Amino acid sequence: MDFNVKKLASDAGVFFTRAVQFTEEKLGQAEKTELDAHLENLLARADCTKNWTEKIYRQTEILLQPNPSARIEEFFYEKLDKKIPSRITNGELLGQYMQDAANDFGAATPYGSTLMKVGEYQRKLGETEREFMQTSAISFLTPLRNFLEGDWRTISRERRLLENRRLDLDVCKARLKKAKVAEAKASLWSEEVSKAEHELRVAQTEFDRQAEVTRLLLEGISSTHVNHLRCLHEFVEAQATYYAQCHRLMQELQRELASLSGDTFPNTFTVTPSISAGPSGVAQSAMPAAPHSKAMEADGLKIEEVQAPAAGTRKAKVLYDYDAADATELSLMADELITVYTVPGMDPDWLIGERGNQKGKVPVTYLELLS
């Protein structure tokens, strides 16, 4: 018990002398031993590495998991050394909602079947996202966290110890200086000077040893950069794989939707042009000429072979606004009614739409065909 009390008192004394030395240095009343330039550069580089690694780590966490509550939950699971429960992604949840809605609306209906298909691919996108998050956490986040919670803590501890050794060294220098001043005034050799010189030699040795230990740790930052560079390449590779998979899934979904649109809006119009004799006795179409025509000569008269629209036109309700891309298309406004028909050889995804004296191609997917 006595030993512990003495040690506590000794530690308190050392702490007090260090605090006094530190305060006097800040006030400019005491000299401070400066570190060599190489060690100062290593310290600055280490601080820069720590600060930017911390920022990159935090922002990558936000990128992979935008929900702050989920991040806090994962943090506590990691601290408690427990397995993080599997969490459904937003894409998977959206896909589930779409498929549930499709079942309620009727999977056989056009809207229901489309919802079912889109929901299926949203779930696939969500699964792909979860795989990306797991891969990135292992290959990129874990090494950064290991540096911040492992290597950097070791470096910080040794730096604090180096600072304490420096303060002890400067305290010994100040003590020796005061002893020499007192000796000069007394004009005789003092034991205090001898004691102060011994303490200074010990403090210098400990400071030099600690400076070397700290220097070796700081020089290891270079290998940390190499390791983080490799992890960064793996993160980019994971991102490239993730976005490539997303692109492939969306292309597949577009093909599926194009197939569903063909089944939903079949091209059932038949071409039955009405033919009547013109004033010259030449057969002419009763329907307006289509944009595509071919000129030919017959019996000395120039006539046109016309691609006529279907006699059975239909009404259609416009579902969304549409801006014509060129003069061959017709701009649409949501909820208006137009007349539509098709012509031979026309792309099945398009119809000819008429509104008053205006006419042009319109996309089928923007229309609800009425009976």
pLDDT of residue 17: 80
Residue 95 pLDDT class (50, 70, 90 cuts): very high
Give pLDDT tens digits for 140-175.
999 999 999 999 999 999 999 999 999 999 888 888
pLDDT of residue 231: 95
Whole-angstrom Cα Rg for the chain: 41
User: Cα separation of 162 and 156, whole Å?
Assistant: 10
Residue 33 pLDDT class (50, 70, 90 cuts): confident
Say yes or no to pLDDT of 73 above 70: no
pTM given for the model: 0.60
Q: Which of 169, 163, 162 is nearest to 201 (CA)?
A: 169
Higher pLDDT, 203 or 15: 203
Higher pLDDT, 84 or 243: 243
User: Cα separation of 178 and 24, whole Å?
Assistant: 15
Q: Tell me the HSE value of 343 on the side-chain side, using a 13 A CA sphere.
A: 17
pLDDT of residue 79: 65
Q: Which of 317, 304, 314 is nearest to 270 (CA)?
A: 314
Place of tokens 């400076």: 211
Q: Which two tokens stand for residue 112?
A: 């229901």
pLDDT of residue 6: 61
Mean pLDDT of the chain: 81
Give pLDDT tens digits for 112-127.
999 999 999 999 999 9
Residue 276 pLDDT class (50, 70, 90 cuts): very low
Cα–Cα separations (whole angstroms), residue 2 to 6, 7, 319: 6, 9, 90
